[in-house]
Amino acid sequence: MNLLLLRGLLQDPGSWEEFGARLRTHAPHLKPVYFDLPGVGSEYRRSSPESVTALRIDLAKRFHEKIAQKKLSAGPWAIAGSGIGAMIALDWASAEPTLFKRMILMN
């Protein structure tokens, strides 16, 4: 199963890297994928949308583009979010209820 990881706004871009390495060791069936929010990490040059829904729309657009380009698997998908990442995950699950088979929310 693919696992989309969304970090909190103030977390370091490497926040999920150690977690992802542990997942690959202890749960090799999970394939972690990371997306930075606009305005932080690899997306630091972009301005950040002003709402959780706008953040979700931005992430969903990039996510679906990568699937269409065959850079990501079509599924199945789970999502894990921390802080604002958890808020985005909830919004995303509401907007696309069949996309994620599992959800982990933290903080």
Digit-coded pLDDT (tens) for 82-93: 999 999 999 999
Digit-coded pLDDT (tens) for 73-82: 999 999 999 9
State the pLDDT at residue 92.
98
Q: For the whole model, what pTM was predicted?
A: 0.89
Q: Is the pLDDT of residue 52 over 80?
A: yes
Q: Is the pLDDT of residue 1 over 90?
A: yes
Digit-coded pLDDT (tens) for 14-49: 777 788 788 889 998 999 998 888 888 788 899 888
Quote the tokens at residue 30: 């999970």
